[in-house]
Amino acid sequence: MTSHSMSREEILALVPGLSDASLDALTDAGIVQPVLKGDAPRFRDIDAARLQLAVDLEDAFQLDSNALALVLSLIDQLHGLKGEMRAVLGALAAEPPETRARLRGIIRETRILRVRRR
Amino acid sequence: MTDDPYAALGVSRTASDAEIKKAYRKIARTDHPDLTDDPAAQERFKAASAAYDLLKEPEQRARFDRGEIDAQGQERPQRRYYRDFSESPDNPYRGQADFGDFSDVFADLFGQGGRSAGRQGGTRSFDMRGQDFRYTLEVDFLTAARGGTTRITLPDGQVLDVNIPAGTRDGQTIRLRGKGGPGMGEAPPGDALLALSVREDADWRTDGDDVITVLPISLDEAILGARVEAQTIDGPVMLTVPRGASSGQKLRLRGRGLQAAGGKRGDQHVELRVVMPPSIDDELARFVENWRKDHAYDPRAVRGKGGR
């Protein structure tokens, strides 16, 4: 999706701690999905960042590829939601005070009061 | 960034390789920027990664211990964390978010269709703003305090003169519009974000908007009082040292501190430090002996003030 991509050799050089074998394993497990261009896979910046995180997580928690895929999927969901939350908050911030007060009332009703009642 | 990799990992210099690895793993678990939002954690993780890179190889560690190499140069190249990508709406690794009854509301707001189209590598052309590139720029204390221009070369070879505003603090970010990655389609390029790191300076300490300096004075200046030159952010000024000044006494220079957000400046506190002559000659010793006979005083009579 980004215009910049790199070869297998380049990404191995870029990501500290990433070995040839672990790149294969992570690709086979679908944890990283390189872009196919011609016959050789190309890696994007997002793949480099994801591989770096995968290496960090493997090292810190001694995760196998299933557990690693699960953790990364949770991170994808959480980060994605954070991005959306930020966008919603940004949109709310630009609304006039009356609108925000009205929404605050609804949010309070559905989230805070209901949670407390349980 | 700390100069002591052992301190960054919180281990002793005699720690075993296993202990070092354990300490690094512990920090990675709690402070990895992809797992926490705490900005301080990010700094700790960065320091710990650099330290671990240095100490994990026994041979390299031994060279460091012998003083053959220092902790600098071990910093990892500017790293982009996964969250820089994964928070973006087009993260290809993220599945569809399902909000149950509210799915259509979500799709209405965020255009749910956009993601899946992108994921399948649809042929539809689209415009996407270029990436923001993040860099860290180190500036020395006086440049940050006074403001000034510093020349940088971006990794793509662009040379830029960056304007550092007066009163810049550590951690502030400067945005260079359009100096990031190229946009796709009709979209504009991204920005370059420079996180400023202000280098520590032994001569200049800060406390909020205030600046603290130490001014050495001679024995005679301390006793008799004097006009002496003191450095400020704006250059040297003449300062009146009062008669009978003690070490630790502070003189305030109003408005000579750092520029605060509102344009108002903090103060400078000049801490006096009485420095004895390089050698105590007989004449001085004899004089003080005589003086003591009639004028002895006990500076420790009042406790609890740190001798001030």
Concatenated DSSP letters for B243-256?
TT--TT-EEEETT-
Mean per-residue pLDDT for B121-150? 74
Judged by a CB distance cut-off of 8 A, whether residue A99 touches chain B is: no
CA distances for B186 relative to B88, B115, B181, B275, angstroms? 19, 19, 14, 67
What's the structural domain count of chain B? 4
The topology under which CATH files domain A5-93 is Multidrug-efflux Transporter Regulator; Chain: A; Domain 2 (1.10.1660)
Q: What share of chain B is helix, strand, coil (3-state, %, to 5)?
A: 30, 25, 45
The verdict on residue B75 lying in a domain is no
CA distances for B303 relative to B298, B299, B300, B306, B308, angstroms? 11, 9, 6, 7, 9
Query: B162, B182, B198 — which closes off a domain?
Result: B198
Of A49, A73, A86, the CB nearest to B80: A49
The verdict on residue B155 lying in a domain is yes
Chain A partners within 8 Å of B120 (Cβ): none
Sheet with B173-176, side-by-side order of all strands: B133-139, B192-198, B173-176
Residue B248 distance to chain A (closest CA, Å): 48
d(CA A45, CA B126): 19
Judged by a CB distance cut-off of 8 A, whether residue A108 touches chain B is: no
Judged by a CB distance cut-off of 8 A, whether residue A82 touches chain B is: yes
Share of chain B above pLDDT 90, in %: 27
State chain B's mean pLDDT as an integer.
83
The verdict on residue B118 lying in a domain is yes
Share of chain B above pLDDT 70, in %: 88
Judged by a CB distance cut-off of 8 A, whether residue B56 touches chain A is: no
Same domain, B118 and B191: no
3-state DSSP assignment of residue B80: coil
Highest mean pLDDT among A25-29, B72-76, B170-174, B278-282: B278-282
CA distances for A112 relative to A85, A100, A101, A105, A109, angstroms? 17, 16, 15, 10, 6
Mean per-residue pLDDT for A75-102? 88
- CA-based nearest residue to B198, from B163, B234, B161, B170: B170
d(CA B40, CA B31): 8
Query: B198, B232, B249 — which closes off a domain?
Result: B198
d(CA A106, CA B10): 48
Interval B8-17: pLDDT, tens: 899 998 999 8
- CA-based nearest residue to B26, from B7, B45, B42, B13: B45
Mean per-residue pLDDT for B47-61? 86
Same domain, B45 and B116: no
Same domain, B172 and B225: no
Greater confidence (B227 vs A103) lies with B227
Q: At what angle do helices A97-107 and A65-93 cross, to 10 degrees?
A: 140
* Tokens 């630790």, residue located: B248
d(CA B241, CA B109): 67
Query: B198, B219, B235 — which closes off a domain?
Result: B198
DSSP state at residue B56:
S
Chain B partners within 8 Å of A2 (Cβ): 131, 181
Judged by a CB distance cut-off of 8 A, whether residue A101 touches chain B is: no
Taking the whole predicted model, whether its pTM rises above 0.90 is answered as no
Chain A partners within 8 Å of B86 (Cβ): 46, 50, 75-76, 79-80, 83
Six token digits for residue B166: 């007066």
Taking CB atoms within 8 Å and a gap of at least 24, the contacts of B225-234 are B230/B270, B231/B203, B232/B256, B232/B268, B233/B142, B233/B145, B233/B146, B233/B257, B233/B258, B233/B268, B234/B146
Of A16, A53, A83, the CB nearest to B88: A83
Judged by a CB distance cut-off of 8 A, whether residue A84 touches chain B is: yes
Same domain, B158 and B212: no
Same domain, B185 and B217: no
The verdict on residue B137 lying in a domain is yes
CA distances for A23 relative to A28, A52, A70, B151, B308, angstroms? 8, 11, 18, 38, 64
Lowest-confidence pick of A52-61, B272-281, B282-291: A52-61
Residue A48 distance to chain B (closest CA, Å): 8
Of B34, B80, B90, the CB nearest to A75: B34
Chain B partners within 8 Å of A72 (Cβ): 93
Q: Provide the residue range defining the domain that includes B9.
A: 5-65
Interval B30-48: pLDDT, tens: 888 888 888 888 888 888 8
User: Residue B159's pLDDT is what?
Assistant: 82
State chain A's mean pLDDT as an integer.
83
Six token digits for residue B277: 């002559």
Highest mean pLDDT among B70-74, B166-170, B243-247: B243-247
Highest mean pLDDT among B183-187, B193-197, B235-239: B235-239
Residue B29 distance to chain A (closest CA, Å): 6
CATH of the domain at B19: 1.10.287.110
User: Residue B253's pLDDT is what?
Assistant: 94
Mean per-residue pLDDT for B167-193? 83
